[in-house]
Structures are given as structure tokens and as C-alpha cells.
């Protein structure tokens, strides 16, 4: 297998597909722990449910609202994961928007929008430490997208 810029591009997209899939799965297992489906001994879980409860408590947000937000994030993360997996096969077509939006562009758009939403939520709930993390992930994904378009074919 030759290592050329297409291999690098595929590697970048594959990384985000895998990473987003891991984030999604740890959050699913965290939700299952919170719902008492899995025991406390289950270690493969993000801890984000408890963190969301803590962060949203600044405005006395009802648990049911936090639950809806958590499920919404899960759906968004799942969509991003599926789109990144789909985008892996479309790396060769980056920049060719003649047939409509490229799957790579769509995957990054959906994922970047998630991290932007997290940054906005961090401001609303005064969770500046979380915002810094979300900003770093957003910036990393944006840099990845720029690299995909700037690297030669």
C-alpha cells in the first residue's frame, strides 16, 4: 500500500470515524449505567451523564430536560459517526461538489455543528473548562477539514 496524500486523507477521516464512534459508545454505556441497566462496576462509560447533571444544575435544569439533551447528543454523535464512516469512501471526491455536497463535507459539518453547540451550551451553563475542551476538538476537526481540502490529490 503506497503512502500518498490520499492515504493521509483517508487516515484523517478514519480517525474521526473511530474517535466519534468511541465517544458515542462510551456515552451510550454511561446512559445505560444511569438507567441502572449496567452495574456500577461497568467501567467503559464516559461519565458525561453525571457531568451534565452537575453543569446544568447552575440553572436548576430539570433532570428530564437533561435527559432529553443527553439523548439528543447521542443521536447527533451517532449521525456524525455514520457520516464519517460513509465519508471514508468519498475521500477521492473531495472538492467535487458537482453532484451535491460531498460526504466528507457533510460529516465534518454535522460534527463541527455538534462541537459548536457544546461551546454555546458551555457559555449558557458557565462551564468554561468544558468549553475549552470543546473548542480544542472543534479546532482539531476544522484543521482536519482544511487539511483534506489543501492536501494535493
Closest CA relative to residue 43, chosen from 33, 35, 58: 33
Instruction: Look at residue 88 in the predicted model and tell me its pLDDT.
Output: 92
Give the DSSP letter string of 99-152.
TSS-HHHHHHHHHHHHHHHHHHHHHHTT-HHHHHHHHHHHHHHHHHHHHHHHS-
pLDDT for 39-82, tens place per residue? 989 999 999 999 999 999 999 999 999 999 999 999 999 999 99
Cell of 136: 480544542
Instruction: Look at residue 95 in the predicted model and tell me its pLDDT.
Output: 63
Q: Please give the C-alpha separations between residue 148 and each of 90, 95, 96, 105, in angstroms, as whole numbers.
A: 12, 9, 13, 10
Which range of residues forms the domain containing residue 12? 5-150
pLDDT for 23-41, tens place per residue? 999 999 999 999 999 998 9
Cell of 127: 462551564
Average pLDDT rounded to a whole number, residues 117-132: 94
pLDDT higher than 80, residue 97: no
Instruction: Look at residue 92 in the predicted model and tell me its pLDDT.
Output: 76
Instruction: Look at residue 96 in the predicted model and tell me its pLDDT.
Output: 64
Range in 3-7, 10-14, 58-62, 135-139 the model is least confident about: 3-7
Higher pLDDT, residue 36 or 97: 36
pTM to 2 decimal places: 0.91
pLDDT higher than 70, residue 103: yes
pLDDT higher than 70, residue 2: no
pLDDT higher than 60, residue 1: no
Instruction: Look at residue 91 in the predicted model and tell me its pLDDT.
Output: 81
Other beta carbons less than 10 A from residue 74's beta carbon: 16
Q: What's the start-to-end Cα distance of the chain, in Å?
A: 16
Instruction: Look at residue 98 in the predicted model and tell me its pLDDT.
Output: 64
Number of domains present in the structure of the chain: 1
Amino acid at each position: 500500500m503506497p503512502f500518498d496524500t490520499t492515504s493521509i486523507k483517508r487516515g484523517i477521516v478514519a480517525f474521526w470515524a473511530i474517535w466519534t464512534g468511541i465517544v458515542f459508545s462510551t456515552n451510550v454505556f454511561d446512559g445505560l449505567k444511569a438507567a441502572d441497566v449496567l452495574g456500577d462496576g461497568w467501567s467503559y462509560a464516559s461519565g458525561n451523564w453525571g457531568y451534565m447533571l452537575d453543569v446544568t444544575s447552575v440553572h436548576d435544569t430539570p433532570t428530564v430536560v437533561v435527559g432529553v439533551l443527553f439523548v439528543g447528543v447521542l443521536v447527533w454523535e451517532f449521525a456524525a459517526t455514520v457520516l464519517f464512516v460513509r465519508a471514508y469512501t468519498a475521500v477521492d471526491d473531495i472538492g467535487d461538489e458537482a453532484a451535491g455536497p460531498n460526504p466528507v463535507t457533510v460529516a465534518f459539518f454535522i460534527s463541527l455543528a455538534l462541537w459548536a453547540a457544546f461551546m454555546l451550551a458551555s457559555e449558557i451553563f458557565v462551564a468554561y473548562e468544558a468549553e475549552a475542551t470543546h473548542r480544542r476538538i472543534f479546532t482539531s476537526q476544522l484543521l482536519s477539514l482544511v487539511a483534506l481540502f489543501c492536501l494535493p490529490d
